[in-house]
Amino acid sequence: MKIDKDFIRMIQRSAMTIYENAEKMAGNYSTQTGLDIGIRIRFGEPIEITVDQTLFPE
């Protein structure tokens, strides 16, 4: 199996971005019940990182 070094770098770059912005993504909501983080990598397109927070209404 051939390892694609560019693909590995995209994953590493995504992980570093999540790491560097973890405090912002975690939020500070007293009613937060969950957090989902997704990474979408499509060759030839920008990498997308999505952050979905689940909150109870106050």
Domains in the chain: boundaries: 5-55
Q: Give the pLDDT confidence score for residue 2 in this predicted structure.
A: 65
Characterize 7-16 residue by residue with b for buried, 16 or more Cβ atoms within 10 angstroms of its Cβ, and e for exposed.
Answer: eeebeeebee
pLDDT tens by residue, 31-55: 888 899 999 998 889 999 999 988 8
* Mean pLDDT, rounded, for 7-25: 93
